[in-house]
Structure 1
């Protein structure tokens, strides 16, 4: 974990996600001007669902890496790695995610999560996300548009 920050690390992106009803779970829907932004927004949607991130301060940052064999598995592994970061050491709840490397050819992501250690004394407990699923996962990459979308159902 690196504790040195730049001014850009504190700039919070505009919210570009929503929650869609699903019979037993919840579906995260995010979008952005690039696939990277849609992935970042999906991760923030996940954290915000587990605990509202309005009160989260950017006090720590944590780097993660994930790989896949296609875009779906890359998205799954990326979110799973972030969920693990929240559920185990360092117990970080992220207010911001910045993808620093996105390799769509070899299906690799490097990202930095910005936030602080989750504490019941400070943060509201939302709904526990038990796992990421492949169920109805969809990644929309329009060839001539800047409206990339991601749909992921999470097990609650």
Structure 2
């Protein structure tokens, strides 16, 4: 598990880690979806997603929000993913695998991703993303 949940007064805060920025973003998604469903999600469908941002935090925010929108609009629950980030263009492409959310009993609903306490940085040779979710 390359993420951990931290104490927060009203919402849920986590830090995700990765040897690369791509892995750090992937682990951020897995942390967020693990909050909603702790069991194993089948990989029944595959989606391609492209996201842009103004800076690295905005890219992470937009990516996580896009996946929440997919959950709300298409009932898509993520099981695994592969992310490729292009920092020059401040964009990412992701191949996402998952299943219809109505096949699962979700543990927790997430209202939104927030910028509160959010950061993306490289520390001691490892990437770290911190995110607070409104639940």
Give the TM-score category using the shorter length: over 0.9
Q: Deviations over 1:24-53 (max 9, x none)?
A: 10012110111110100000111110112x
Report the counterpart of residue 153 of structure 1 in structure 2.
Answer: 132
- Extract structure 1 runs of 4+ deviating beyond 4 A: none
CA distance in 1, matches of 2:12, 2:47: 26
Count residues with an aligned counterpart.
135
TM-score by length of 1: 0.82
Are 2:21 and 2:85, in contact at CA under 8 Å, matched by a contact in 1? no
> What residue is the counterpart of 1:123 in the other structure?
104
Determine helix, strand or coil for the equivalent of 2:117: coil
2:49 aligned to which of 59, 64, 72: 64
**For 1:55 and 1:79, how far apart are their aligned partners in 2?**
20
Partner of residue 117, structure 2? 136
* Residue 92 (structure 1) aligned with residue 104 (structure 2): no
Task: Report the Cα offset of residue 131 of structure 1.
Answer: 0.4
Aligned-pair distance for 1:141?
Answer: 1.4
Tell me the TM-score normalised to structure 2 length. Answer: 0.94
Unaligned runs of 5+ in 2: none
Bigger Rg, structure 1 or 2: 1
Q: CA RMSD in A?
A: 1.2
Cα offset for 1:55?
A: 2.8
Does structure 2 conserve the Cα–Cα contact (< 8 Å) formed by 1:47 and 1:93? yes
8 A Cα contact 1:68 1:74, kept in partner: yes
Q: Deviations over 1:59-92 (max 9, x none)?
A: 1111111111100110100111111111111x11
Contact 2:114 2:132 (8 Å CA) reproduced: yes
Gaps of 5+ in 1: 1-14
Pick the structure with more strand per residue.
2
Q: Equivalents in 1 of 2:66, 2:56: separation in Å?
A: 15
Give 1:116 shift: 0.6
Distance (Å, rounded) in 1 between the aligned partners of 2:50 and 2:107: 26
